[in-house]
Structure 1
């Protein structure tokens, strides 16, 4: 019987690898419980070259860096954000610090694809400068064909949106800053 579990585990891991490639993810982690004191922990990952598009006029050359290793993946996600017009002057100072360490950071609770609006053509859930109450939907993360509404963890004003509509995010990646 252990051989049968081994074969199903190998098939399961291959399916996870296909899911990783088909959805353009960089990492997937799953725990499969078979019973008491019997489980399988699987982490499938790959290093992915991240291409960032900087939209600021004079500063992009100074802010561009080589692709980061997989362990530092949340930092490149912050660089993909479109700069806020009101924050144009202090942008170089803000990009130097890690947005995930900001006390008002809302981070991704899962791996998936971000949608900033309920459906194509609909208005965005929130924009920079909007006031939100705790529990308001900020965006949706699609994971395994399930739409997960991501709520505001606190009341405040949306200061920065760090992800683009349709972008892939990883667990713990900063999504936006609420102050």
Structure 2
């Protein structure tokens, strides 16, 4: 039986990266080893959507201004479909396929709107009611937090 060696310095370095960037999860793999560090997001951090701001460091002011206010305002919207979990959003079943739905399209109750990958499992996010897709608030590959608005269906 092989014994797993833990690299405490690597874990500390990854934890520091999480703190410095505002991310909630980071994973590094090399050969046969893998280190994954996850931290619970603070309620305020869920509103800030820091990974989106980090993804655009060249223009932090324009990216940071609309993103934090949009989820706070739109999460209470009557047509908002909010994320039931933390994960990565995908608008299509795979990169070469068209998105599940497009803005302006009529959707039926129970129709798949997007996927959220959490713990290597792809979870279908379905329309809670029928209507027209008015807005898509995430892009494929975006990290999403619990309660974050994903789309607006009216």
The 8 Å contact of residues 117 and 123 in structure 2, kept in 1 or not, is answered as yes
Cα contact 2:52–2:142 (8 A) shared by 1: no
Moved over 2 A (4+): 17-29, 45-50, 63-66, 75-79
Could you tell me which of 78, 85, 88 is aligned with 1:113? 88
Equivalent in the alignment of 1:57: none
CA distance in 2, matches of 1:112, 1:78: 19
**Bigger mean CA deviation after superposition, 97-106 or 120-129:** 97-106
Q: Deviations over 1:51-82 (max 9, x none)?
A: 176xxxxxx96x9539xxxxxxxx53847xxx
The normalised TM-score by structure 1 is 0.54
Q: Quickly say closer, same or farther: Cα 1:49–1:152, change in 2 above 3 A.
A: closer
Q: C-alpha separation between the residues in 2 aligned to 1:135 and 1:117?
A: 16
Deviations 1:132-175 (A, max 9, x none): 00000000000000000100010000000000110000000000
Q: Write the distance in 2 (CA, Å) between the matches of 1:150 and 1:121.
A: 20
Provide the C-alpha distance between the structure 2 equivalents of 1:139 and 1:106, rounded to a whole number of angstroms: 11
Partner of 1:21: 26
Aligned-pair distance for 1:121? 1.1
Residue 28 of structure 1 and its aligned partner are, at CA, apart by 5.6
Once superposed, what is the RMSD of the aligned Cα atoms? Answer: 3.7
Please show how residues 68-79 of structure 1 align to structure 2 within 5 Å. Answer: 76=68, 78=70
TM superposition shift of 1:27 = 3.0
**Aligned residue for 1:38?**
none
Matches of residues 88-167 of structure 1 in structure 2 within 5 Å? Answer: 98-167=73-142
With normalisation by structure 2, the TM-score equals 0.62
Q: Which runs of 5+ in 1 are unaligned?
A: 1-13, 30-44, 54-59, 67-74, 80-96
How far is the alpha carbon of 1:178 from its aligned partner? 0.3
Number of positions where the alignment pairs a residue of Structure 1 with one of Structure 2: 118
Unaligned runs of 5+ in 2: 1-10, 19-23, 28-35
For 1:147, what is the secondary structure of its paired residue? strand
Distance 1:98 1:137 in 2: 24
- Secondary structure at the counterpart of residue 163 of structure 1: coil
How far the C-alpha of 1:25 sits from its partner, in A, is: 6.7
